Amino acid sequence: MKRITMLFDDETLYKRLKVEAAKEGRPVKAVVAEAISDWLRKRGEVSAEVTQRRLDALRSSKELRAAQTQQTGETILDTLDWLREQRS
């Protein structure tokens, strides 16, 4: 086991961390270790190829939204709002 000391510049963040960990009945060190593990795992999963595919998909979605707005006068967000209303 290795030891680390963390200094929080943001006292509110530290207090929120302690409260949420206590609500789950977990020590703060377990929550911090989980957050660091998740962060490291995510960093390793995103390759340059994946990043490029995501950028291409984002670009395509922007183009689709623009085309839909030109054709119908409505945006994707308008359509999503309508769908949400239908589900309510």
Tell me, yes or no, whether 24 lies in a domain: yes
Query: Letter for the amino acid at 55?
Result: L
Tell me, yes or no, whether 52 lies in a domain: yes
If asked whether residues 53 and 81 sit together in one domain, one would say yes
pLDDT at 80: 75
If asked whether residues 30 and 57 sit together in one domain, one would say no
Q: What total number of domains does the chain contain? A: 2
pLDDT digits (tens, 9 = 90+) for 43-73: 776 667 777 887 788 777 777 767 666 666 6
**Average confidence (pLDDT) over 12-40:** 90
Secondary structure element (H or E) that encloses residue 28, with its range: helix 28-45
Q: What domain range is 17 assigned to?
A: 11-45
Tell me, yes or no, whether 3 lies in a domain: no
Secondary structure element (H or E) that encloses residue 11, with its range: helix 11-23
More confident residue, 50 or 2: 2
CA atoms within 13 A on the CB side of 31: 14
Tell me, yes or no, whether 16 lies in a domain: yes
Tell me, yes or no, whether 59 lies in a domain: yes
